[in-house]
Amino acid sequence: MKLSNIGLIIGREYSTRVKKKSFILLTILTPLLMAALMVIPMLIALYSGEDKQVISFVDNTGMLESYFESTGKTEYRFLPVETTQESLKQSFETYESSTLIYVSQLDSAGNAAVTAYSKEPLGMESKMSIESKISSALRDRKLHNLDIQNFDEIMEKVRSDVKIDAYTITNEGKEKKDTVEIYMIIAYVLSFLIYMFVAIFGSMVMRGVIEEKTNRIVEVIVSSVSSFELMMGKLIGVALVALTQFAIWIILIGAVMFSMQGVITSKMGDKMADITATVAEATDSMQATTVGVHPTADMGTLGEISGVMDQLSQINFGQIIFFFLIYFVLGYLLYAAMFAAVGSAVDNEADTNQLSLPITIPLMIGLFIMLHTFQHPSSQLSVWASLIPFTSPMVMLARIPFQVVPAWQLILSIVLLIATFVAIAWASAKIYRVGILTYGKKASFKDLFKWLKYKD
């Protein structure tokens, strides 16, 4: 094996692929789409308060008004009880409301019928909110009718609002605030990207082998280099193409996120100023409950965004990217070697389905186990699957964000992955050597095993 020959193959594979228009378009568009997926939800949360809806009630129970406080996003109005249900439908436009709700009088069981009218279907969030508040009002009335002494005082004493502040104790004995939801999102995204990129770039190697074999270009190439050098050069060349894309994506995503940070910060500042002014006005007038604006709603949104940004700042993204690249490269090399062997054994892509099935099944199993792992990162299934080379690229990436992986497991996982790649590369090279010069016959698994037995 000559390293210079492998270097030539690597250079050829790399330059050929990075000059394609598809590579350039995919490299530019992918980070823009990924950045949009991260930025757009924040912008939606910040700008969602701009659209205000008006919901009007005809309350024949006479007890709902205290349960519906208007917010910056929704204004609740209560119409005269003399308004009939029929007039609501016939004169909908005159009420200047997005939704009209008619609440009947209480029946003998203390319940009421509720009917909503709107030009567009009532949103699920609004519907659930209205149902919950009316249910609370009816429940409270029924409890009051039980004639329990000091009922309000008792209810105030038993009312509780529990929120768990979760911390993880580190090996140094220090406490670290948990960010489980963010860990789960990162674990899912990383594992899915590993699965997707290994499948995409592995298939790219297989298609490249088939194309060269079909065009008989490979016959010219193997006259100058060995089949093993050709296969390794192709694997490494495509890996470098993938790493080039990753590097560009990281830079572009960082640039887009940095440019959008100013917009998000500015909007958050504007919202805080509006909320502060509203609270000050309410305090001065001593009518904070009737000003028609509920500052805590926007405060909650801003608090959630601020909390997420604070939690993201505590995550070691450098470490995560480092292990992502390691497991991607090793996982890709492992599967791409098998894809290369399959590509060499067939004359067209339509014949690869049967031979590639044993390759795709472990990938799919790793993906399914990952769905379990990002919820249970320390379970026995997760630990074993993160050590088995054929599933470890996906599963280990689902465990790393939770920071629960001992160093020995990481080292063992990587060593096993490298050892398995060496063994698979050796076996694939033997198949590749015979397959790339075999034409006119669809190879079976029996043929592949026979080629493995051929002596060098």
In the 8-state DSSP scheme, what is residue 99? E
Question: Are 38 and 59 in the same domain?
Answer: no
DSSP H or E stretch at residue 16: helix 3-18
Residue at 164 is within a domain:
no
The domain that holds 56 is classified in CATH as 3.40.190.10
Contact 345, 212 (CB under 8 A): no
Structural domain boundaries, residue 434:
3-42+179-452
Question: Are 126 and 243 in the same domain?
Answer: no
Residue at 172 is within a domain:
no
Question: Are 300 and 409 in the same domain?
Answer: yes
Which of 109, 131, 150 is the endpoint of a domain?
A: 150
Listing DSSP states for 212-273 in one string gives HHHTTHHHHHTTTS-HHHHHHHHHHHHHHHHHHHHHHHHHHHHHHHHHHHHHHHHHHHHHHH
CA-to-CA separations, 73 to 52, 194, 295, in angstroms, rounded: 5, 41, 10
Cα separation, 325 vs 402, whole angstroms: 18
pLDDT tens, residue by residue, 386-425: 999 999 998 998 888 877 788 899 999 999 999 999 888 8
pTM score, two decimals?
Answer: 0.62
Question: Are 361 and 445 in the same domain?
Answer: yes
Evaluated on CA atoms 407, 409, 411, 413, the torsion sign reads negative
The residue with tokens 């568009």 is 29
Question: Are 392 and 445 in the same domain?
Answer: yes
Of 443, 439, 427, which Cα lies nearest the Cα of 228?
Answer: 427
Higher pLDDT, 298 or 178: 178
Mean of pLDDT over the chain: 76
Evaluated on CA atoms 285, 290, 295, 296, the torsion sign reads positive
For residue 372, the tally of other CB atoms under 10 A from its CB is 15
pLDDT tens, residue by residue, 116-164: 888 777 778 788 888 989 998 888 888 878 777 776 777 777 776 666 6
pLDDT tens, residue by residue, 263-295: 555 555 555 454 444 444 444 443 333 333 444
Question: Are 65 and 106 in the same domain?
Answer: yes
Question: Are 206 and 87 in the same domain?
Answer: no
As for how many domains the chain has, the answer is 2
Question: Are 101 and 230 in the same domain?
Answer: no
Residue at 157 is within a domain:
no
Of 434, 430, 445, which Cα lies nearest the Cα of 359?
Answer: 445
Which of 150, 169, 191 is the endpoint of a domain?
A: 150
